[in-house]
């Protein structure tokens, strides 16, 4: 089991941060090498499904997810149901008045060798992406 949690403070209220992190079609604007699309439901309710392709130049994998919890503007939880990535993930937006904190938390069952190879680069890319998110939402 791999556990990953990253956070970023954002100079914007929780509602604006929530709108940005749950705009699935626009997630690739701030998340490196990722394109997300809704594959079932409305993408804004429990039971909706998503597919996120992560990679570069067509080389990568698709992460299939089902939304298991939807509590705007604070929590979106998913279950990863794909062949490569399995486990749970949570997007949490912490309201701090005029500002907010975004927390990305994952508990994943991944092949150990895969995480050894991609883990450090993934963490660095995620941190960079969260800084891009903060800049985009605050603008």
What residues contact residue 2 under an 8 Å CB cut-off, 6+ apart?
87, 106, 107, 108, 109, 110, 115, 119
Number of domains in the chain: 1
Provide the pLDDT for residue 54: 86
User: Checking phi first, is residue 57 left (phi over 0); if not, alpha (psi -120 to 50) or beta?
Assistant: left
Average pLDDT over the chain reads 94
- The parent domain of residue 85 ranges over 2-138
Confidence grade of residue 85 (pLDDT, cut at 50, 70, 90): confident
pLDDT digits (tens, 9 = 90+) for 24-44: 999 999 999 999 999 999 999
Residue 36 exposed, middle or buried by CB count within 10 Å (0-12, 13-18, 19+): buried
Provide the pLDDT for residue 87: 96
CATH number, domain with residue 16: 3.30.530.20
Rg of the Cα atoms in the chain: 14
Provide the pLDDT for residue 32: 92
pTM score, whole prediction? 0.92
DSSP string, 60-102: EEEEEEEEEEEETTTEEEEEEESSS-EEEEEEEEEEETTEEEE
Examine the pLDDT at 115 and tell me if it is beyond 90: no
Provide the pLDDT for residue 58: 77
pLDDT digits (tens, 9 = 90+) for 58-78: 788 899 999 999 999 999 999
């Amino acid at each position: 089991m791999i556990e990953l949690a990253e956070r970023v403070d954002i100079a914007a209220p929780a509602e604006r941060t929530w709108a940005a992190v749950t705009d699935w079609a626009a997630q690739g604007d701030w998340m490196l090498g990722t394109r997300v699309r809704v594959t079932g439901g409305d993408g804004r309710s429990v039971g909706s499904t998503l597919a996120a392709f992560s990679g570069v130049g067509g080389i990568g994998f698709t992460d299939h997810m089902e939304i298991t919890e939807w509590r705007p503007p604070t929590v979106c939880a998913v279950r990863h149901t794909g062949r490569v990535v399995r486990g749970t993930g949570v997007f949490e937006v912490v309201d701090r008045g005029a500002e907010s904190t975004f927390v990305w938390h994952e508990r994943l069952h991944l092949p150990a060798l895969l995480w050894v190879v991609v883990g450090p680069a993934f963490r660095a890319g995620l941190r960079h992406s969260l800084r891009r998110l903060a800049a985009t939402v605050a603008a």
